[in-house]
Amino acid sequence: MSVLSEDHPAVILSLDSQHIVSIQAHATRTYPEECCGLLLGTSDPTGKTVMDVRATNNIWREEAQSDLTKKRRYLIPPEEMLVAMKHARTLGLDIIGIYHSHPDCPAEPSECDRAAAWQHYSYLIVSVPQGKAGDVRSWSLTDQQVFSEEDVLIFRGSP
What confidence tens digit (pLDDT) does each residue in 7-32 have?
555 689 999 999 999 999 999 999 99
Q: Calculate the average pLDDT of the chain.
A: 89
Domain covering 12-60+68-150 in this structure, CATH number = 3.40.140.10
- Range 71-75 average pLDDT: 82
Is the dihedral angle over the CA atoms 81, 151, 136, 108 positive or is it negative?
Answer: positive
Domain ranges of the chain: 12-60+68-150
Distance of alpha carbon 75 from alpha carbon 60, whole angstroms = 5
pLDDT of 3 > 70? The answer is no
Task: Give the model's confidence band at 72: pLDDT under 50 very low, under 70 low, under 90 confident, else very high.
Answer: confident
Contact call for residues 145 and 157 (beta carbons, < 8 A): no
Residue 23: what pLDDT? Answer: 98
Q: Of 121, 134, 116, 108, nearest to 5 (Cα)?
A: 108
Q: What is the pLDDT of residue 97?
A: 98
pLDDT tens by residue, 81-122? 999 999 999 999 999 999 999 999 999 999 989 989 999 999
